[in-house]
Amino acid sequence: MSLQLPLINLMIRWQVKRRFRKNPDVNLLRPLMLQMEPRAAKLPADIACEALDLGGVPAERLSAPDTRSDAALLYIHGGGFVAGSPRTHRPLTWRLAKDIGVPVYAIDYRLAPEYCFPAGLDDCVTAYRALLEKGLPSKSIVVGGDSAGGNLTLALALRLKAESLPLPAALICLSPSTDMTGGGASLQSNAEADAMFVPEIMASLMPAYCPGADTKNPYLSPLFGDVSGFPPTLFQVGEREILRDDSVRMAAALKTAGAEATLEVWPKVWHVWQLNADMLPEAREAITHIVRFARQHLG
């Protein structure tokens, strides 16, 4: 364990979990993530950032000097479906672009509560179709996301399958939400250990993102979907997260369906710790694993 890990853990508990204890409302994520955006949005001088759209969905394309043009990573940011942007996730996405050696297309999908389900998922499907229309074969595309973006990554694969579109080469899911019913045991067993969230936050998520919807809808809760034929999928999650079992059970469901799933449960880290790569050795190590997985499946 690095010296930085317990210090950052304490800082997150003070800055984030303390607020959610007082007011367990997912909509608090928007002001919190807006505060982090100016620092997170800074890029190294050798990373190019181009604003564009994918079929009408706003996005940014991050690339390094030696980036290959025949493959891509489509990245779907997290933020509880109500917050975040490609800018808040640059500490992760620029590293993926540089180390994998492919452009990262980070999409700015529509957020709730202004745009409820399935608006964000529709944007993910549109963006993926646009990459195919650019001439990129599906075997040369990896799709990844964190938290809500991990949920959308899996839901996207279910939608592509239902619409008879080719699935990507691989999926990357970082601390994804996969079960909107709240059925994972870690939701309660990790209530104190989780450095960010409290279980009560889930009660505010459904009314904001998908009011009145069936929580077992596979496009909301991919755990209940037919995942047979899914591409190889990497899960990274923290042992102490309330969402830990969303990854554990989803990986098990994939394996039961005959799909390849790699599950990494990391000790003592917090939700989407990979975003702290500027300061945290464990985050940079996790990114190394992601890069190895992506490069393996892109050939």
Q: Kindly report, residue by residue over 47-59, the tens digit of the pLDDT.
A: 999 999 999 999 9
Q: Measured between alpha carbons, how far is 187 from 197 in angstroms, rounded to an integer?
A: 10
Rounded to whole angstroms, how far apart are CA atoms 89 and 28?
A: 18
At 235-247, the pLDDT tens digits run 999 999 999 999 9
DSSP state at residue 3 = S
Q: Do 55 and 43 contact (CB within 8 A), yes or no?
A: no
Question: For residue 218, is the peptide bond before it cis, meaning its omega torsion is within 30 degrees of 0?
Answer: no
Q: How far is CA 54 from CA 15, 123, 125, 126, in A?
A: 35, 9, 10, 7
Q: Nearest to residue 250, comparing CAs of 196, 175, 198, 194? A: 175
Number of helices (H) and strands (E) in the chain: give both, helices first.
Answer: 10, 8
Tell me, what CATH number does 198's domain have? 3.40.50.1820
SS3 236: strand
Q: What is the distance between the alpha carbons of residues 135 and 126, in angstroms, rounded to a whole number?
A: 15
Summarize pLDDT for 143-162 with one digit per residue, the tens: 999 999 999 999 999 999 99
Where in the sequence is the domain holding 223, given as residue range(s)? Answer: 4-298
Alpha-carbon gap, residue 190 to 186, rounded angstroms: 5
Q: Identify the pLDDT of residue 188.
A: 97
What is the total count of domains within the chain? 1
Burial of 218 from C-beta contacts in 10 A (0-12 / 13-18 / 19+): middle
pLDDT for the residue numbered 299: 73
| Tokens (6 digits) for 163 | 């619409």
Provide the 3-class DSSP secondary structure of residue 29.
helix
* Distance from chain centroid for Cα 185: 21
Enzyme catalytic residues: 147, 241, 271
Can you list the residues of the chain whose pLDDT is less than 50? none
- 120's tokens: 């964000």
